[in-house]
Amino acid sequence: MFETAVRDEAALRAALAEADIAPMLMVLAQLSGDLDILDEVAPHIHGAWSFLESVPEDLKQKVRDRLVAVLKDYAASGREPPHHVPSETLQKMMSAGVGQMVPEEYIPLLVEETHLGDEDTRAVHWQRKPDSLAVGKFKAIIIGAGFSGLCTAIRLKELGIPFEILEKNTDVGGTWLENDYPGCAVDTPNHFYSYSFNPNDKWSRHFSRRNEILGYIAATADKYDLRRYIRFGVEVTTAEFDEHDARWHVTFQTADGVTQTIDTNAVISAVGQLNRPSIPPIAGLSQFRGPVFHTARWDRTVDLKGKRVAMIGTGASAVQAGPSIAPDVASLLVFQRTPHWLMNNPNYHKEVSAGNKWAIEHIPYFGKWLRFQLFWAGSDGFHASLQMDPDWPMPDISLNEANHKMREMIIDYVRKELDDDKDLLAKVIPAYPPYGKRMLRDNYWYRMLKRPNVELVTGSIAHVTEDSIVMEDGTVHAVDVIIMATGFQASKMLWPMEIKGRMGRTIRGVWGDDDPRAYLGITVPGFPNLFLTYGPNTNLAHGGSIIFHTECQVRYITQALREMIENGYSTLEVRTDVHDGYNKLVDEKCRNMVWAHPGVTSWYKNRHNRVTVTSPWRLLDYWKLTQHFVPEEYRAGRIGHAPIIPGQEARVVASIDGLTVG
């Protein structure tokens, strides 16, 4: 394990000279057991991002020299690294590494996320291994082969539960396959935006571009040999629960229009929230003679060079696409209905240094500590500051003191980026509090707005003619191409599939067009054996990686299937009281969070201002809530028997209050 790190000492030293100091320090403390070095370095680490340190060079050199010595000692002696590090020690190490106290309650989550204990504790194991016949008779259908679908497949495969994936596209990747607009990239750090059980040592950037992420997903599918379980190019149209035999009949269409149905015990939706583009009903749009396309359906056959391009929308997709095409087009008109908040991150455009890459690949635990650092940097830190303070005197523009400070800090940054251009500044600073809509990372957006060939158009679009966009004030903008960066139909979850549960009730009938609810975002009363990943109120808007949430959901779902198989249940259905109690808490919690702010419109909520998409919980809370499937919260059934309703009280309604939520 240590030989590869010390085989070439010059290479090791060269890498350490360039690699981040915090993960290096953590590895040193872990392997040496010497915590005094933490006290020396900690005062110079001011936050979890790598750029928030001011460790003097001589102290850095001391850490490097000692780490080289420790690694050589391990390699020479053949000693095993300490497998169990006491929680108190970990807390001290972690707190030093991110420059702030890491509360004790986070330690088990962080150990799990980083695999510091060298085990995959999110994997599910049999409790009472059923005979292979019982397992073999079971079947699950997973809809979608993106991040969530593949994660589910990996876990089911580990347990030997038979499954099949139905995927409408011709390859794996989901949203990362469909979104291929110029500049498409992740805005969550990649060493954390990746499966915890399949880290990638080779990310070229801190925030990688679409092709590299797609490559990672494809490589994961190959590594776990998943492609043979996937039917590509088939689109699920309906899933209907049959009370008689407690099975779902899943109907899909092949690319050549053939309809087929397969029966299954369980259906797991992994279709995501952002896969159906939203095209606003702008009058006259269909009359436009030039190309019109959505960012998620980018038309590569259209050459934008020298064209007058209109881009409608200023969300995450626009902020990545706009600056990427601006240098090539004759003119870019950006149509902004409401401005977004954008924050700067110095690592956003950077490549991972050769030293860091080498260290991740060769130094045991370096990558794990880096993942910890990034998890901390982008997780629950802002959660408390996103809640409205009822006594705050400026409730329109900010929520509380911390949120107001953030507002001022961002305005300060934007002012500098815009060279104090007061007209532009007035247009781009939102009137609502930071984090009301999704917080974006500045992809040189403001610099783009300063380009001579770019114009920011505010106000409302009245209609489109065959060659121009006409504003409500009568201004006419002649353009050649229209790019719709107008987002997705997020609240209309599972659409356009028709999902029919017990007594023929459809999910649309229960949820309406835009009011989805589920227990933990995963299960819905009346729809037995149906499980959702990335379902209602599970989007992350305060921080975190959606892959973390996916892994929480997949563990829970796998445990639920285990419960069914081990007990011979034909159905498992969440209790209505449990579901309703949970959703009441979700609504109460959301009501006080920034996304429900009356000055904000966004895809996080429905037209009645109910937050339907976004999770109100800290990552820690959701992790705890989904850690153990609780059978008492479900009605189980066996064919020919009355439903089994466990007598105990459901834990959730009582115990969410017990969690220190927020």
Using the contact rule CB under 6 A, the part of the chain among 104-112, 308-316, 384-392, 474-482 near ligand NAP is 308-316
Tokens of 365: 């635990």
Which phi and psi angles does 139 have, rounded to 5°? -145, 140
Which phi and psi angles does 564 have, rounded to 5°? -65, -50
Quick check: 611 binds ligand NAP (CB under 6 A)?
Answer: no
Using the contact rule CB under 6 A, the part of the chain among 12-20, 24-32, 313-321, 633-641 near ligand NAP is 313-321
Among residues 141, 162, 145, 140, the alpha carbon closest in space to that of 233 is found at: 145
Quick check: 344 binds ligand NAP (CB under 6 A)?
Answer: no
Quick check: 438 binds ligand NAP (CB under 6 A)?
Answer: yes
Q: How far apart are CA 71 and CA 3, in angstroms?
A: 8
Contacts of 448 (CB under 8 A, 6+ apart): 322, 323, 326, 332, 454
Q: How far apart are CA 25 and CA 35, in angstroms?
A: 10
Of residues 314 and 398, the one with the C-beta less far from ligand NAP: 314
Rounded to a whole number of angstroms, the minimum distance from the CB of residue 605 to ligand NAP is 11
Rounded to a whole number of angstroms, the minimum distance from the CB of residue 303 to ligand NAP is 23
Quick check: 335 binds ligand NAP (CB under 6 A)?
Answer: yes
State the number of binding residues for ligand NAP (CB under 6 A). 26
Rounded to a whole number of angstroms, the minimum distance from the CB of residue 35 to ligand NAP is 37
Rounded to a whole number of angstroms, the minimum distance from the CB of residue 486 to ligand NAP is 4
Among residues 294, 291, 324, the alpha carbon closest in space to that of 307 is found at: 291
- In this structure, which amino acid lies at residue 111? V
419-427 long-range contacts, CB within 8 A, separation 24+: 419/450, 421/450, 424/449, 424/450, 424/456, 427/336, 427/339, 427/456, 427/458
Of residues 355 and 378, the one with the C-beta less far from ligand NAP: 378
Tokens of 64: 């490097």
Tell me the C-alpha to C-alpha distance, in Å, between residue 107 and each of 88, 89, 111, 116, 662: 9, 10, 6, 11, 17
Binding residue for ligand NAP, selected from 50, 265, 486, 537, defined by CB under 6 A: 486
Tokens of 90: 């970990």
Segment holding 237, helix H or strand E: strand 234-242
Which phi and psi angles does 232 have, rounded to 5°? -90, 155
What SS3 string covers 177-217? HHCCCCCCECCCCCCCCCCCCCCCCCCCECCCEHHHHHHHH
Q: How far apart are CA 84 and CA 30, in angstroms?
A: 10
Quick check: 601 binds ligand NAP (CB under 6 A)?
Answer: yes
Quick check: 314 binds ligand NAP (CB under 6 A)?
Answer: yes
Q: Please list, residue by residue across 121-145, b when 16 or more beta carbons sit within 10 angstroms of its beta carbon and e when fewer do.
A: ebebeeeeebeeeebeebbbbbbbb
Tokens of 462: 């009245």
Tokens of 561: 């299937």
Tokens of 194: 């990746």
Of residues 497 and 546, the one with the C-beta less far from ligand NAP: 546
Using the contact rule CB under 6 A, the part of the chain among 183-191, 226-234, 427-435, 520-528 near ligand NAP is 183-191
Quick check: 190 binds ligand NAP (CB under 6 A)?
Answer: no
Rounded to a whole number of angstroms, the minimum distance from the CB of residue 296 to ligand NAP is 7
**Under a CB-based contact definition with an 8 Å cutoff, are residues 300 and 323 in contact?**
no
Using the contact rule CB under 6 A, the part of the chain among 38-46, 219-227, 372-380, 479-487 near ligand NAP is 479-487
Quick check: 458 binds ligand NAP (CB under 6 A)?
Answer: no
Rounded to a whole number of angstroms, the minimum distance from the CB of residue 279 to ligand NAP is 9
Quick check: 603 binds ligand NAP (CB under 6 A)?
Answer: yes
Quick check: 612 binds ligand NAP (CB under 6 A)?
Answer: no
Of residues 454 and 561, the one with the C-beta less far from ligand NAP: 454
Quick check: 313 binds ligand NAP (CB under 6 A)?
Answer: yes
Binding residue for ligand NAP, selected from 121, 324, 338, 458, defined by CB under 6 A: 338
Tokens of 263: 């029966």
Angle at 271 between CA 317 and CA 632, to 5 degrees: 125
Rounded to a whole number of angstroms, the minimum distance from the CB of residue 181 to ligand NAP is 8
Of residues 438 and 597, the one with the C-beta less far from ligand NAP: 438
Segment holding 163, helix H or strand E: strand 163-167
Among residues 106, 96, 123, the alpha carbon closest in space to that of 29 is found at: 96
Rounded to a whole number of angstroms, the minimum distance from the CB of residue 307 to ligand NAP is 20
- In this structure, which amino acid lies at residue 330? A
Quick check: 337 binds ligand NAP (CB under 6 A)?
Answer: yes
Of residues 490 and 574, the one with the C-beta less far from ligand NAP: 490
Quick check: 487 binds ligand NAP (CB under 6 A)?
Answer: yes
Rounded to a whole number of angstroms, the minimum distance from the CB of residue 540 to ligand NAP is 9
Binding residue for ligand NAP, selected from 21, 96, 292, 318, defined by CB under 6 A: 318
Peptide bond before residue 525 is cis, with ω within 30 degrees of 0:
no
**Under a CB-based contact definition with an 8 Å cutoff, are residues 414 and 425 in contact?**
yes
Of residues 440 and 561, the one with the C-beta less far from ligand NAP: 440
**Under a CB-based contact definition with an 8 Å cutoff, are residues 12 and 351 in contact?**
no
**Under a CB-based contact definition with an 8 Å cutoff, are residues 309 and 321 in contact?**
no
Segment holding 252, helix H or strand E: strand 247-254
Of residues 12 and 326, the one with the C-beta less far from ligand NAP: 326
What is the contact mask toward ligand NAP in residues 276 to 305, using x (rule: CB under 6 A)? ----x-x------------x----------
Binding residue for ligand NAP, selected from 20, 113, 187, 551, defined by CB under 6 A: 187
Using only C-alpha atoms, what is the Rg of the chain?
26
Quick check: 542 binds ligand NAP (CB under 6 A)?
Answer: no
Quick check: 186 binds ligand NAP (CB under 6 A)?
Answer: yes
Rounded to a whole number of angstroms, the minimum distance from the CB of residue 454 to ligand NAP is 16
Which phi and psi angles does 249 have, rounded to 5°? -100, 115
Quick check: 50 binds ligand NAP (CB under 6 A)?
Answer: no
Of residues 317 and 612, the one with the C-beta less far from ligand NAP: 317
Of residues 293 and 603, the one with the C-beta less far from ligand NAP: 603
Rounded to a whole number of angstroms, the minimum distance from the CB of residue 287 to ligand NAP is 16
Of residues 324 and 627, the one with the C-beta less far from ligand NAP: 324
Binding residue for ligand NAP, selected from 116, 268, 270, 312, defined by CB under 6 A: 312
Rounded to a whole number of angstroms, the minimum distance from the CB of residue 318 to ligand NAP is 6
Rounded to a whole number of angstroms, the minimum distance from the CB of residue 371 to ligand NAP is 18
Of residues 398 and 545, the one with the C-beta less far from ligand NAP: 545
Rounded to a whole number of angstroms, the minimum distance from the CB of residue 620 to ligand NAP is 21
| Secondary structure class of 460 (helix, strand, coil) | coil
Segment holding 230, helix H or strand E: strand 230-232
Quick check: 316 binds ligand NAP (CB under 6 A)?
Answer: yes
Segment holding 349, helix H or strand E: none
Q: Which residues bind ligand NAP (CB under 6 A)?
A: 185-187, 274, 280, 282, 295, 312-318, 320, 335, 337-338, 438, 461, 485-488, 601, 603
